[in-house]
Structure 1
Amino acid sequence: MVYIEGRRGALVVDAGLSLREALRRMDAARISPDGVCGILVTHEHADHGRGVGALSRHFRVPVAASVGTAEGFQAQGVVPYGLQTFQPGHRFSLGPFLVEPFPVPHDANQPVGYVIWDGPTKVAVVTDLGYLPLNVQNHVEGAELLILESNHDVELLLKGSYPPWLKQRILSRHGHLSNAAVAEFVRARLDKWCRYLLLAHLSQENNRPELALASVMNALYDRRNDETRVVLTAQDVPTPVVEVE
């Protein structure tokens, strides 16, 4: 669950938590839910969408999802409040925000990443993807805050306890992004336009925070980028608030 607060409202991206846990974490982070004006969903997998129905009904705000994601919700019996569907690539407004969804390679039904503008400020959210195709790299360029998956260390995954079929899925081009893939992107494309890089969706079994951090910091050093700040996120505790002005 990602909370993005702008000048005149706030958005939630994904809702994989129960309503009680989502509200508890917002309270722990000293975030007021009163300004939430909409929920964006990247795809229908449970860890991103199981709480969408309850959260949207609690806030009484619309949910925006791709046509494919909405079909996935319907098949699962998830009923979001005020569901609005879109096709990736078409910009739309949600409250005071301008939103552009774009396709990402993942084994879900029409998954997307998001670019979100609050006035001139650009934020990008990209989680759950097997690799970083050029269209994704181009969409996130210029984002002052980039939330990017850094799911696993390949060596830890290969040596770990997951069954072979699951390892193959994670490593596939429609699986999850490795630390090495993130570092390759940072080394090739990430310049000082990005003030904050938040590493997200770290696997608790197949990654270590220090490995993800070292990988991207080495890439920033190679890029001669000493201005982008890197923030590690965790699955079980709220991330400290990051402010982009």
Structure 2
Amino acid sequence: MGDKGYDKALRELHVELVKLQRWVQHKGLKVCIVFEGRDGAGKGGTIKAITERVSPRVFRVVALPAPTEREKSQMYMQRYVSHLPAAGEIVIFDRSWYNRAGVERVMGFCTPEQVKKFLDAAPMFEKAMVDSGVILLKYWLEVSPEEQERRLLGRINDGRKIWKLSPMDVKSFDRWDDYTRARDDMFSATDTAWAPWFVARSEDKKRVRLNIIQHLLKQVPYKDLPVEKVKFPKRKIKRETAEHPFKYVAETF
């Protein structure tokens, strides 16, 4: 997809996201969006496309680091509960409690018994969320092995992206089939009537961003609230005669 068509479509969708933001605040809605997918599937870029023109006070992104020793001793879901949305908030999880069904399972950070307990408990946890009024949306970004490899290699060779390539990405690179089995088991156990999974093909980064934003806007019904017309007053400036001792940034460009 070309830049011109993408920029035009994204601009229009950003206007709608601002309308959604105002509606969520107005009605006190609670929206929780979960993004999952393989490494390099495009989760970060999609989240950035959603949030770059809205308020971070309303659209809050949660990307938790590895658990501390204290958090490891807690009930598994406990560290995620405090990040769930309150009224007037949209919380986006860049990876979520589904770490247990994915990377933790594949990389051996938890036992098979712990995975089973999680898959049994997750639907009930999400049912409790939905029953409390949370609008829960779960997206899985699907990418081919060839495109994933191309993107991960691109991170190595681009100084702007090298921070995206974690040691875990390298260790898990040759475990494609293990991740596939983990994904399928996760879908089978947690694709429920109250919290279904939505799968988006992410071979084309621009298209998947537009498709997900468009889909998201359809899942949360909203109205365009009237905006009060703003009129600026005349500015009164008192001219200063003294020299200001400011230190200016050198204009080298």
Same fold (TM over 0.5): no
Larger helix share, 1 or 2: 2
Structure ranking higher on relative contact order (CA contacts 8 Å, 6+ apart): 2
For normalisation by structure 1, the TM-score amounts to: 0.37
Larger Rg: 2
Larger strand share, 1 or 2: 1
